[in-house]
Amino acid sequence: MSSLINQLYRFGDFTLDLDQRVLLRAGKPLPLTPKVFDTLLILVQHSNRVVTKDDLMRQLWPNTFVAEANITFNIQQLRKVLGDDARRPRYIETVSRRGYRFIANVEVVIDGDASKLSPLVSATIGDGLQNQPAVSASVAASAPLIDSGASTRRKVIAIGASVLIIGLLGLGLWRLTGFIKKGATDDKRADGKTAVASPLKIEKLTVTGQSAHAAISPDGKFVAYTRFFENKTGVWLRQLASNTNVEIVPAGEPVAGMGFTRSGEYLYLVKGDPPVLFRMSPLGGVPTKVLENLEGNFSISRDDSQVAFIRQEINGEGQREYFLMTARSDGSNERRILTGTHPYKLDTPLWSATGDAIVCSYGNSTGSNQNVTLIEVKVADGTKRELFPTRFFAIQRVSLLPYGKGLIFLARTTPEENNQLWQVTYPSMEIRQLSEGVISYGDLSLTALGEKAASTQVTRIADIWVGSAHDASNLKRITQATDGCWTPNGRIVYSSTASGNRDLWIMQRDGTEQRQLTADPAVDASPAVTPDNRYIIFTSYRSGTFQIWRMNMDGGNQIQLTSGPGKQFPSISSDGRWVLYNSTDDWSLWKISIDGGEPVRLTEYPAVYSSVSPDGKTIACAGRNEPKRPFGIWLLPIEGGQPFKRIESPGAFAGGRLYWTPDGKALIYSAARNGRTAIIKLTLASELAEEIATIDQDELFDFAYSNDGQSLFVTRGGWKHDVVLISDFGR
């Protein structure tokens, strides 16, 4: 499209540039995926009018069936970028059961100069495009809009008609030039990344929700995948041509990752706890042990002679360390290539095509920062270099495209977003996002020619269940929620995505009087209530890292208490004066006044999930006695310092929260025991642990007993994983 004919829309501090397909704020581009940009364009072009969801679906995905949830996701992303509030909107208003309306005043600017069209012309353009796709209909001003009275009105109407005609002609020209340029030039995104023109073709291979891991054979004929059922994991092999399935590893220990060798002769898999790397024939048989003590992500070199993997250890100071390692494919000749110390984590190793380097993710993800990127590490000397300056919140899996074309990887830019497919091209190092929407991806494996990939799609189902503390088997499901806490007067504060974002809500224990307390695009979670029922303490990502916030019980007066590196796991002292929390750079324990101020460090070592005793004298937390041992329960003075008592946790400590019983004689927490999650009561004097509730089928995300000890809630559910076959990577 010619830059001589350009049309801009202005509203508030924003400018929507149709020619460049970019949203600007104060002249700076804002990141929008192509479909989210088109959603905004449709709403802006029809400002102050209701655009139904059906109209949006038809214009954004013509002749294609997609879930309506994708519209909700696009609106959620727009509100995040615009800083809009669904409850008190300034830009996008939700019209119940119908659709959405753009309510801000919109001005149309021609040729990028300061001449602004009248509302009449703006309305004429909008009416003319009402039934057209959301595209850049460029217009040109043929005369200055300087006149008065009836003459001005006649000229404005004439210009409006001319603008409409030229706009429709421009639409036709845009379509024509779009077909000419298709395949030659990709659309540029506002964040400098490139959007792929053609959509991915996705075919579901499983619908059970039980398959978290998948690997496709190099020739694209087979897909190996896991199935998790009744707390056991098996490995199955599907022949794609015949759609036949056979179990090659009987259900048993958990599986953390899989991958075929380049020749297709072997399938490698990480299984067990602690995890072990095995090698086996894809047709079945007894797996052969290759390596011990490694993470789930690994990579086999292109000549099948070596394996790259990540090893994680806790050093003598209690600090987590990550090592990029190599070994021969039979497990011999281990070498340490690179070391990363928490919070700078190494993950997702991938051999280069030449075998002289390993690509892996590197950065601080646990600190809630958008600070993870891909690096290339030379095998000979361990020197590393960044592949590109772009940062992500997390990068999960990386696969190599053939012929040196680049990489495909799974990543997300913020904690509240879903994992999506991304591509980085060689040698330009240009990044493009390949997928978008409400679906999250959890695994990735490409064929040798890169024409197909096996991946998994992931969704989480979590609800809050409430009932008697004396009958955990008979709880009643109330509403969608991921975590929460009781208030002193018997209500429940909980985190839910019912608003489209992860916000905090409050309700009565029977689910009545539900009310939203926060309305922010970022994640708000982990609530705790002061003993006087005055404040709610919680974590929020709205400042770009997770920090501790405070608000009134009605959601008002929201104040950030902490700053700096990420903060997590808040708890409140029994007198309500202090907020305890962990700093995610080293997981040390800190406290800060409920009124804010200077924080005070309590430990020089990792001590998580803190809880203060009813008498206010003791802190209980989770810690490790030795580097390779699981977390246990530690007791330390309220002033901080070294623990005066260490108790080994029966079962694997499941995390989340620690609670004191009202008499201060026992602790309650969750642990994994015998393939299920149990709520444990640990009597401190005798160190006797007993199961007081069990969750047999679902995953336990959070739980809490009411202050009077009579009621219990749990948030439980699970992750649904299904295998998909992906093709057409933007060809």
Q: Nearest-5° angle of CA 83, CA 437, CA 360?
A: 95
Q: What kind and span of H or E run contains 120? A: helix 119-128
- What is the pLDDT confidence band of residue 611, given thresholds at 50, 70 and 90? very high
Q: Check residue 198 and give its pLDDT.
A: 44
Which comes out higher in pLDDT, residue 103 or 197? Answer: 103
Written as one string, the DSSP assignment of 336-377 is EEEEEETTEEEEEEEE-TTSSEEEEEEEE-TTS-S-EEEEEE
Within 13 Å, how many C-alpha atoms sit on residue 583's CB side?
18
Question: Is the model more confident about 583 or about 188?
Answer: 583
In terms of C-beta density within 10 A (0-12 exposed, 13-18 middle, 19 or more buried), how is residue 133 classed? middle
Give CATH for domain 205-391+443-459+721-727.
2.120.10.30
Question: Which residues touch 712 (CB under 8 Å, ≥6 apart)?
Answer: 466, 467, 468, 469, 472, 475, 693, 703, 704, 705, 706
207, amino acid identity: V
**pLDDT of 178 strictly over 60:** no
Local structure of residue 331 (DSSP, 8 states): S
Token pair listed for 114: 């300061």
Domains 7-189 and 205-391+443-459+721-727 in one fold: no
pLDDT in tens, 456-466: 999 888 999 99
Q: Rounded distance, CA 383 to CA 152, Å?
A: 70
Q: Report residue 68's pLDDT band, with 50, 70 and 90 as the boundaries.
A: low
Task: Please check whether residue 171 is in contact with residue 128, taking contact to mean a CB–CB distance below 8 angstroms.
Answer: no
What is the rounded CA–CA span in Å between residue 419 and residue 415?
9
Segment 421-447, tens digit of pLDDT = 999 988 888 888 888 777 899 999 999
Q: What is the mean pLDDT of the chain?
A: 82
Picking from 348-357, 492-501, 531-540, which range would have the lowest pLDDT averaged per residue?
A: 492-501
- Asked whether 13 and 27 are in contact (CB, 8 A), the reply is no
7-189 topology per CATH = Arc Repressor Mutant, subunit A (1.10.10)
> How confident is the model at residue 596, as a pLDDT?
93
Whether domain 607-709 has CATH 2.120.10.30: yes
Paired residues of 14 in beta bridges: 11, 25
Asked whether residue 585 carries a pLDDT value surpassing 90, the answer given is no
Three-state secondary structure call for residue 296: coil
What are the tens digits of pLDDT across the range 344-376?
A: 889 999 999 899 999 999 987 665 567 899 999
| Structural Rg of the chain based on CA atoms | 28
Most confident of 159-168, 542-551, 650-659: 542-551
* Domain layout of the chain by residue ranges: 7-189, 205-391+443-459+721-727, 607-709
CB-count exposure of residue 2 (10 Å: 0-12, 13-18, 19+): exposed
Q: What integer pLDDT is reported at residue 225 of this predicted model?
A: 97
d(CA 175, CA 525): 46
Helix axes 69-82, 53-60, angle to 10 degrees: 90
Report the distance separating Cα 292 and Cα 274, nearest Å.
8
Maximum CA pair distance of the chain? 95
- Give CA angle at 558 (460, 586), nearest 5°: 60
Q: How confident is the model at residue 136 (pLDDT cuts 50, 70, 90)?
A: very low
Distance in angstroms (rounded) separating the CA atoms of residues 235 and 213: 9
Q: What are phi and psi of 404, to 5 degrees?
A: 65, 25
Question: In terms of pLDDT, which residue wins out, 527 or 95?
Answer: 527
Question: pTM for the complete prediction?
Answer: 0.65
For 265-297, the pLDDT digits (tens) are 999 999 998 899 999 999 888 899 999 999 889
- Give the list of residues 6+ apart from residue 472 with CB closer than 8 angstroms, or none: 679, 692, 693, 694, 712, 714
Which residues, other chains included, contact 176 with Cβ-Cβ below 8 Å and sequence gap of 6+?
none
The length of the chain is 731
Are 451 and 437 in contact, with CB atoms under 8 Å apart?
no
